[in-house]
Amino acid sequence: MKGLPTTRAAQLASPQQDEQTWLIEGLWSAQAVGIIGGEPKCGKSFLALDLAVSVASGTPCLRRFPTRQCGAVLLFAAEDALHIVRGRLEGIAAAAGVDFSTLDVHVITVPILRLDHLEHQQALHATVAGLKPKLLVLDPLVRLHAIDENVAAEVAPLLGYLRSLQRHHRTAVALVHHARKGAAHERGGQALRGSSELHAWGDSNLYLRRTGSHLHLSIEHRAAAGADRLQLALKANAPALALEVIDQQPAAPQPAQPSARQRIEQILAQAKTPLSQRQLRDTARMRASHVTEILAQLIAAGCVTRSPDGYRINR
């Protein structure tokens, strides 16, 4: 059998000096696919549209992050009426100081787009091929398919299609997606609804969280440093309505949050009777697979005992 071809690492092609690393510096890598995630009413669509206006106009995203490549943007907004999409884009353009009439954002106007249907995939492929956008925005994932988002074998082909679209047309893809309710204690990617394939897929991911009246943005990249808990606010200054970064005074260090294993240990330590795996899962608000893995580690370490009644901490 013929072996696979190899080459020494030093003989691999070097990056070109003029190669652009960023689409929007610090926020979205060039030709990156990724997720804009968060719970409902956290401003995910406003953030996605801010990316669209920035790339289409060459202006800084959120009035803070410089746009390094600009060009056409293709947008499909599945949940909002077209007049609402126009109004939001117009407001963000006003905040950015951009003439809305010249904005190079193209909106797909079909009522339904299903990325798990071959004919819809082919239609989107042809649209991207014709327009050659720098950025494709799809908002939100839940309206773009009829698959089970929790099943990796169903999610992977859909994400694979979007990855192939990105590579074939050299366009960035931003996919708006919901986080699970009550997952505020988890990392942004782990809080996403559905299969972990979604988190693993992204080259650049943006996560929005609301804590009381405060809105925070976390930035994650596959090949660059990220940022955590940038404070945002939705500012209204008619006709502009757009997200902005809020400069903050240095805050006192926050105590470290307990790890998933520590949370399970704390729950068991506070329990007066043995707890079932389901009770632990519901109390910790963690996925069943995570609870199973942690319990196996605790049992192996002699910290927890399993009985017919459930799990108890070894005191």
Q: Are residues 127 and 275 in the same domain?
A: no
CATH number at residue 188: 3.40.50.300
Q: Are residues 84 and 140 in the same domain?
A: yes
89 vs 103: CA distance, rounded Å: 9
Q: Are residues 264 and 215 in the same domain?
A: no
* Number of structural domains in the chain: 2
pTM score: 0.76
- 219, 245, 271 — which closes off a domain? 245
> What is the model's pLDDT at position 17?
44
Strand pairing report for 135-139 and 172-178: parallel
Please give the helix or strand (H or E) that residue 244 lies within, else none: strand 240-245
CATH number at residue 293: 1.10.10.10
Is residue 3 in some structural domain? Answer: no
> What is the model's pLDDT at position 254?
64
For the stretch 113-141, pLDDT in tens is 999 999 999 999 999 999 999 999 999 99
Prior bond of 60 cis (ω within 30°): no
Contact present, 189 and 220 (Cβ < 8 Å): yes
Is residue 176 in some structural domain? Answer: yes
Q: Are residues 240 and 109 in the same domain?
A: yes
Among 259, 202, 196, 257, which residue's Cα sits nearest to residue 226? 202
Q: Are residues 44 and 172 in the same domain?
A: yes
State yes or no: pLDDT of 19 exceeds 60.
no
Share of the chain above pLDDT 90, in %: 65
Contact present, 31 and 222 (Cβ < 8 Å): no
Q: Are residues 214 and 175 in the same domain?
A: yes
* Side chain identity at residue 119, one-letter code: E
User: How many angstroms separate the first and last alpha carbons of the chain?
Assistant: 58
Torsions phi, psi for 130 (to 5 deg): -75, -40
> What is the model's pLDDT at position 285?
85
> What is the model's pLDDT at position 18?
42
* Arithmetic mean of pLDDT, 195-199: 93
Is residue 6 in some structural domain? Answer: no
Q: Are residues 91 and 212 in the same domain?
A: yes
For the stretch 86-111, pLDDT in tens is 999 999 999 999 999 999 999 999 99
* Side chain identity at residue 255, one-letter code: P
For the stretch 248-290, pLDDT in tens is 665 566 677 788 889 898 998 898 899 998 998 888 888 888 8
For 24, the domain range is 20-245
Q: Are residues 160 and 292 in the same domain?
A: no
